[in-house]
Amino acid sequence: MFVKLTSVDRTPTVINASQVTFISQVTDGTRIRFGEGRSVTVVEPLEEVMNRLDHTQSFPGDLVAG
């Protein structure tokens, strides 16, 4: 399932929740990491990102948030 968020440059960003490998809070918002060294920083706070991704029921069991 895909989740729509807002990147730090205010452009819509669509995330494939099944590809998320790591989520961390940063000064600008929340950084979402994917495989192969890719990442995006979104303006939504960590808790909101976690909540949106959780509604997809696609959270990998080993996802780390911090």
Q: How many distinct structural domains can be found in the chain?
A: 1
pLDDT of residue 66: 47
Tell me the pTM. 0.76
Run means of pLDDT, 10 residues per run, the chain, 66 residues? 90 89 94 90 94 67 49
Residue 13 in any domain: the answer is yes
Q: Output DSSP code: residue 62.
A: T
Torsion-angle region of 36 (φ positive above 0: left; ψ -120 to 50: alpha; else: beta)? left
Query: Please, are residues 32 and 20 in contact by the beta-carbon 8 Å criterion?
Result: yes
Range of the domain at 31: 2-58
pLDDT of residue 49: 92
CA–CA gap between residue 4 and residue 49 (Å, rounded) = 10
pLDDT of residue 25: 96
Residue 25 in any domain: the answer is yes
pLDDT of residue 60: 52
